[in-house]
Structure 1
Amino acid sequence: MRLKYSRHCDVLVVGSGIAGIMAALAAAVAGRSVILASSGPVFSGSSFYPGTWGLGLIGPENEADQEDLVQSILEVGCGMADEAMVRAFVAGIAPAIEGVKAMGVQLKAAADQNQKDFIPCFDRKHRSWNGLLFDSMRQVFSRKMEESGVEQLPGCELLQLIKTDGRVSGAVVCCGKELTAIRCGALVLATGGYGGLFRDRLTTDDVAGAGQWLALEAGAELVNLEFMQMMPGYLNPCRKTIFNEKTFRYTRLTGPDGRDILENEPDRQALLECRSTHGPFTSRLISRRVDLAMVKAAQAAPEQGVTVTYGPEIRENTPEFVRTYFDWLWEKKHLTMDDPVQIAPFAHAANGGVRIDPNGFTGVPGLFACGEVTGGMHGADRIGGLSTANGLVFGRKAGESAAAFAAAQPVPRADGPVEFDARIIPDQAERRRRMQDVMSECGMVVRTGEALRQGMERLAQLADGCAFTEGDDATQIAASRRLWAQLHLAQAILSAQCMRTESRGSHYRADYPERNPAMERRILVRLEGSTARAAFEQNLAEERSEKQ
């Protein structure tokens, strides 16, 4: 199929969560013409997930606290975070917070920030904590985009990156029910993580994972794909609501047989106290025994999971953070702490993705990236509140870098039409469902080499079995392209999980339950021909020795 260019701009930003919006605004402030495209509505993705009570935003308490936060991120990342990225990240947080304040975004401060519940997830001390208010962000960002002339294209899905003379120069998109091409001087990917690869997920449907594969096709690298946050979420009622981990220490957790899933643990309360300090699963703390017990119970009764009830202590002296959660839960879901709920592990946020430098550059001329589509600034585990900070900091950096690139190098001429392979996979919906089953069965909390190898075989069969037909239905073509990208990214993720024969942070191998110091190496994924290949980076310990 041949497509004509229908629009052109200096900077095309794809994805309209916090990172994408910050990138679009930064490029527009730099004087570039900007189009902001997103497969969902503007203000979408994980940044505006409706199943959570708000966005925490943390940063260093002051300049003296910056180095401590850097070291905490590196420690929590279990040797998998890129130190240069971490330092650029932390240095940019305070200016980013001041920037959104200057725009007029309302931040909610804690009444008593010294309560222990305001220590960020996985962190060791209090930081500067703020809550970003959804309504204020929408109002302020909408006004700023209108004032700066950012053209918004909601319902516009990215299908292919266009390259001219080795640089990214545009994109094929599906806007509504029409396939078209957009020409640009630079492109910023802000398409979010890959929660959409999983059946059991705490993400919106537009967090599909296609952006990572498209970046790989264009020549970028992926890093740390095996590290993904698995969070407890509601099965019933209000499915896919995120469970507040700060309440674990008050809970009784019962399985489908009505028995306490931790009844055989002599240090039961110590486990729950530890589990209350972090939201996602981690293999490096004793609290992993809580998650493993939840997994076992959920496997026994997938639709029932673990029933949560609260003891009287939570009502006697409810901490501010917990009270805020239950106030939101009543307002939005009409649930109270007296209502029993069933929970289970869900796929949540990706710690890995497109490899970028501290300015958001992917290594492919004209292609920049920011937000959860990227990796490097986080490691095997991620401190709570840094996802939002990541979007603010690297969104601005990527937008500024893309604007500078577009200004220095004129938009390539586009004299002819764009060649696009517009084919349809008739059973794409069923194949996507089966792919999501594979990922939820093989790549969630508990992983084994045998299950991962079987999962990769099943995914390869799904990909190899795709029967393509010709057609002109744009929505079906888009869904088929998305599936193709998802199938191949899913294989790359399971491949990385299979290669890491140890347990480290969010990655847990039941057949290799301990951390192996010899595996302190990041796994990179590159495209060789049409096949994604995962390989270990140079051993980081040797790299540090060489520097010394």
Structure 2
Amino acid sequence: MEKSRTIKTDVLVIGAGIAGVMAAIKAGEQKADVTLASCTKIFSGSSFYPGTWGFGLVGPEDKEDEKDFIDTILNVGMGMADKTLVETFVSHITEGIDKLRKYEVPLKEAEDKGAAEFIPCFDHKNRQWNGLLQAGAKEALSKQLEKNHINLLPDVEIVQCFKNKGRMTGALGIHREQGFIRIFCKSIIIASGGLGGLFKYRLNTDDVTSMGQYLAMEMGATLVNLEFMQMMPGYLNPCPKTVFNEKVFRYSEFLDCETKKSIFEEDGTDWERALNERSTHGPFTSRMYSKYVDFRIFRHCMKDERGVTVHYKDALKKNQPEFIKTYFDWLKEKKNLTIEDDIQLGIFYHASNGGIMIDSDAATGVEGLFACGEATGGMHGADRIGGLSTANGLVFGSIAGRSAAEYAKKLDIVETEMEIDIPVVKDAARWIERLRQLNFETAMIFRQDDQIRKTLAEIEEIEQKTKDSTTSMGTDEFSYEELKTSCRLRAILALSKGLNQAVLMRKESRGSHYRADYPETDPEYGKRIVLHNGQTEFEIQK
């Protein structure tokens, strides 16, 4: 790691999913000099995840529908969403979709727009629905990046940020071949995705690390709603980490991998009702009767790593609705699987509803630091309507790009000394995997006091052990992998502690957060939990 280079730019964007790409393009359109960095390729993260057949992009049908959409998002969020952010969000979605069309991004519209299959998860009616096609989106948005002269930094892991006199001044990246990259800038946008890096089983690519949230927190930003996340079924085998289409729940049999018998034995649960209801939404929620389906699948995953076997019924094979047919056509083309093939299913982390706290200008409260996309929290709550993750990246990506560019216009670049401080931890990769296993056991579907406390105690032990095995870093003593993994461990440790503290504090069940020892929603906990300066606490009501 003895090589180095220096970059000067107005705006640095960290993360190259839909949020980061839109932020870079918008900042470029404002005539800012923009650098877009990704720890892997450009067009990455959950926005371009290869394990799904496409991404829904949902918005209000028209201006009159906006109020109902806002009210529904707030209702589904169960008091955990910020009303001002939601209003900003909804009022800009149509504009964002129009912008994609202007960029000639191909969007797939439903042939039967009124079909029940196109009602978004947790919503009560059909909305404006578009399918975002990955290949076409990459091609069209690449042209916009080139048109606006965006400097691309693929395969660069941003591991430190710097500020001077209270404002952001730069960041340090590492590259496998180029070594250290010092980036001096006027503003930074974090668009690095959700908290998938905290979990063993995740429907994300490995570049979704949680590093962005950690960097923001280190700079003084606040995190919010960490305990609320989307957990949903995915393939364990074959084609691991492929997203399961929830619309087929009612048409499927779920079998114990060992006995080949149904996992839904008679126990007083109305399984027909639960499966029908489960077919209306992808992520788990404790709000609905369908929760019993997730409970049963997750229990089997905990006792058998093979999960449960899924076999499709003849009724589905003979008659596939449009949304489901699209799914099986994609499976055949991309995964070489057909409706005749059985799969093994498990429960995975999928997406974060919480993250870096921002305002309606995508500002974090730290001068020169902005954030957007799944790295942020506030525009969603305890549950999130389907199709809004893509819309979130589209809307707040553009807002963050505009805000960061406008902020940068007022300033000069300040070339302060970048003191490289990367404590290298022996066996960092092993500790990361242990933390991911702990979070899977404790912070997924079932959450319970005694298990959470055990996990927090072990996190403290790991923190101490890693301190004991830390080596002070020289400039050329360690490899790229050692430096990268040690930085990721530092982030995962801090955020695992914050996540589990939030889970422990919320002694109730609310949306995606289910406490087995507190199964009911409690009005006393109708406040958001924030993480600031390493301290987790309930937000002070304004």
Paired with 1:418 and 1:291, the residues of 2 have a C-alpha distance of 48
TM-score, with length taken from structure 1: 0.95
Per the alignment, residue 226 of structure 2 pairs with: 225
- Identify the match of residue 275 of structure 1 among 271, 278, 293: 278
**Secondary structure in 1 matching 2:169:** strand
Q: Distance in 2 between the 1:8 and 1:266 partners?
A: 62
Tell whether 2:243 aligns with 1:248: no
Instruction: Please say if residues 2 and 417 of structure 1, whose CA atoms lie closer than 8 Å, have aligned partners that are also in contact.
Output: no
Equivalent residues in 2 for 1:391-470, closer than 5 Å: 391-412=393-414, 414=415, 417-466=417-466, 467-469=469-471, 470=473
CA contact 2:40–2:207 (8 Å) conserved in 1 = yes
Percent identity, aligned pairs only? 47
Deviation, structure 1 residue 424: 1.3
Q: Does 1:182 align with 2:183?
A: yes
Q: Give the deviation of 1:2 after TM superposition.
A: 11
- In structure 2, the partner of 1:211 is 212
Are the aligned partners of 1:244 and 1:325 in contact in 2 as well (CA < 8 Å)?
yes
328-337 vs 463-472, greater mean Cα deviation? 463-472
Deviation at 1:410, TM superposition (A): 2.2
Question: Alignment partner of 1:465: what SS?
Answer: helix
| CA distance in structure 2 between the partners assigned to 1:493 and 1:418 by the alignment | 30
Provide the C-alpha distance between the structure 1 equivalents of 2:78 and 2:15, rounded to a whole number of angstroms. Answer: 29
SS at match of 1:42: coil
Equivalences for residues 137-536 of structure 1 within 5 A: 137-177=137-177, 178-256=179-257, 257-264=259-266, 265-302=268-305, 304-412=306-414, 414=415, 417-466=417-466, 467-469=469-471, 470=473, 471-527=477-533, 532-536=534-538
**Per-residue deviation, 1:359:** 1.1
Equivalence map 1:48-197=2 (5 Å): 48-177=48-177, 178-197=179-198
CA apart distance, 1:300: 2.1
CA deviation after TM superposition for structure 1 residue 258, in Å:
2.1
Alignment partners' CA distance in 2, 1:40 and 1:133: 20
Deviation at 1:449, TM superposition (A): 0.9
Residues in 2 aligned to 1:510 and 1:41: alpha-carbon distance in whole angstroms: 40
Looking at structure 2, the residues matched to 104 and 479 of structure 1 have their Cα atoms a distance apart, in angstroms, of 39
CA offsets 1:12-45 (integer angstroms, 9 cap, x no match): 0010000000000000000000000000100100
Residue 422 of structure 1 contacts residue 472 of structure 1 at CA under 8 Å; is this kept in 2? Answer: no
* Amino acid of the structure 2 residue aligned with 1:53: W
> Which runs of 5 or more residues in structure 1 are unaligned?
544-548
Shift of 1:478: 2.2
Distance between the aligned counterparts of 2:253 and 2:171, measured in 1?
Answer: 51
Question: What amino acid does structure 2 have at the position aligned with 1:289?
Answer: Y
RMSD: 1.4
Aligned mates of 2:205, 2:318 — CA distance in 1: 36
Post-superposition Cα deviations, 1:219-265, rounded to whole Å, max 9, x if no partner, equal 10000000011110001111110100000011111123322122215
Structure 2: distance between partners of 1:154 and 1:133 = 22
Q: TM-score, normalised by structure 2?
A: 0.96
Letter in 1 for 2:451: A
Question: C-alpha displacement at 1:3, in angstroms?
Answer: 10
Contact 1:359 1:401 in 2 (8 A): yes
Cα distance in 2 for residues equivalent to 1:339 and 1:106: 31
Distance in 1, matches of 2:515 and 2:96, equals: 37
Instruction: Tell me the equivalent position of 1:20.
Output: 20
**Structure 2: which amino acid aligns with 1:182?**
I
State the one-letter code of the partner of 2:334. Answer: K
User: C-alpha deviations, 1:138-193, integer Å up to 9, x for none?
Assistant: 10111111111001000001101110111011101112341121000100000111
Question: Counterpart of 1:336 in 2: which secondary structure?
Answer: coil
Q: Write the distance in 1 (CA, Å) between the matches of 2:2 and 2:378.
A: 37
CA distance in 2, matches of 1:455, 1:112: 48
Report the AA paired with residue 42 of structure 1. I
- Cα 1:270/1:67, change in 2 over 3 Å: same
| Structure 2: runs of 5+ lacking an equivalent | none
Whole-Å Cα distance in 2 between the matches of residues 3 and 266 of structure 1?
Answer: 63
- Partner Cα separation in structure 1 for residue 3 and residue 229 of structure 2: 37
